[in-house]
Structure 1
């Protein structure tokens, strides 16, 4: 396993610039159904490819064609794959490995890295950032949007920068070792648990409707909401959340869900079924 890249021609500064260039930050700007993030990934690599193949125009042309193939990954982890790819492109330019194998490595990395990346950034960090930001914003604090941006983006940019360097220095054998020793499975499992805990707390704290129907009469009257809270506090919000998950699984679009929610909310409030 490579532990350093002593003979590499790409510097740390260039890897950092790669993480923040228009391709690195724009992985979803040119997203399309046939090949998804391929153009942005190539644009991210292009300055370094020009340096690697400075004296080999045919090799540069082949690299451009090679990286126009399908690519899709959690955007924050694209620089890590980019670092690995640049490490391999240097070997291709030397004639030590075949360039056809690079897309195979990219394809092998997409699935496991996206599993980790989506769990951490979308299912965990973004949910935590929204929870903190929304709570403060509801209190009228300007810190709400500021903390949301910081909590989500600071880890994202750190992963971009150090991921690019790690990928370049360790080469493509790194991920194989991580899979063999179970590191990736542990990260996905831990991120999944934390994400579920945060989502569970949000269904309780951020569902602001209650059931206003009443049961019984006279002094024994009780609201249905009190009965449901006696069973489990937050059960209404949890139930609505699961209905949304079920609907999304049935390919019901988010915009349609929002419109249905608005209409149902108005109707149920009008007939006294629900109250804010």
Structure 2
């Protein structure tokens, strides 16, 4: 059990909040926001765990793939902090559930965050700011900055407090009721569903050419879609996964994919 010195404080939450502002500074194509997420979680990790080995293990947990709208990402950080606390208090806590919950939440929250900020608030701020700026009013860019950023920063902080408070009370209730194994299993299933749904949305491969001549010609891509929609993106994902399982370096995987794309486009195999 942790001592009073290991309890999360308001100062720790504020440190997480400030660090969350750099979530996308180290964005990359392999794991996207993972380094920014881990960086934001470090104050909580250092507070919760006394042993260096436990801190390193927790930091590694948060270096897995992560990507969501930055303004609502703090809700997941708050829940992760509560789950790390629960892990420190319970020796039989399933640490894999921490990443399972992250994966399960990042998709739905990204949909909410994108619609709220990119699709709504940004459009409103741009409309007001642009109309004033076109008339030579200096308030145009100022109002754009204020209308967009004030709600963004407030929502980011509110999400962190809500996520941490919700995670703490929720985890206490499910631990008392013995539902933790079911929660872990359900979160893992939802996480896999989210990742599976990302494949056709993020990967686009279309084969060029057709079979037959004249009006009876059938596009090869149409035949593949008839067998299974998004079959090629799925096969490519499984191929990349197989290479990674065989310990092929990510840099070599990128070289292979880039080479296939160039060769395929050069010889007219793919629709460009």
**Which TM-score bucket, shorter chain as reference?**
0.5 to 0.7
Counterparts of 1:125-204 in structure 2 under 5 Å? 125-171=121-167, 173=170
1:20-35 equivalence runs, <5 A: 20-21=18-19, 24-35=20-31
Give the match's secondary structure for 1:171.
helix
Out of 7, 19, 23, which is 2:17 matched to? 19
Match of 1:79 in 2: 74
CA contact (8 A) 2:48 2:84 kept: yes
Alpha-carbon distance, 1:15 to partner: 1.1
Aligned length: 166
Tell me the TM-score normalised to structure 2 length.
0.58
- The Cα shift of 1:17 comes to 2.6
Any idea what the Cα deviations from partners look like across 1:36-68, whole Å, max 9, x if unmatched?
000000001101110111x23222111111111
**8 Å contact from structure 1 (residues 48, 86) kept in 2:** yes
| Distance verdict in 2 for CA 1:109–1:7, change over 3 Å | farther
Evaluate the alpha carbon distance shift between residue 106 and residue 133 of structure 1 in structure 2; reply closer, same or farther with a 3 A threshold. Answer: same
**Superposition pairs of residues 1-276 of structure 1, within 5 angstroms:** 9-21=7-19, 24-53=20-49, 55-95=50-90, 97-171=93-167, 173=170
Mind listing any 5+ residue stretches in structure 2 that lack a counterpart? Answer: 172-272
In the TM superposition, what whole-angstrom CA distance separates every residue of 1:227-267 from its partner, at most 9, and x where no partner exists?
Answer: xxxxxxxxxxxxxxxxxxxxxxxxxxxxxxxxxxxxxxxxx
User: Scaled by the length of structure 1, what TM-score is found?
Assistant: 0.57
C-alpha distance in structure 2 between counterparts of 1:121 and 1:8, whole Å = 35
* CA gap 1:157/1:50 in 2 versus in 1, 3 angstroms: same
CA distance in 2 between counterparts of 1:17 and 1:136 reads 37
Q: Secondary structure at the match of 2:143?
A: helix
Shift, 1:7, TM fit? 11
Deviation at 1:92, TM superposition (A): 0.7
State the superposition RMSD in angstroms: 2.0
- Structure 1 unaligned runs (5+)? 1-5, 175-276
Q: Pick the structure with greater CA Rg.
A: 1
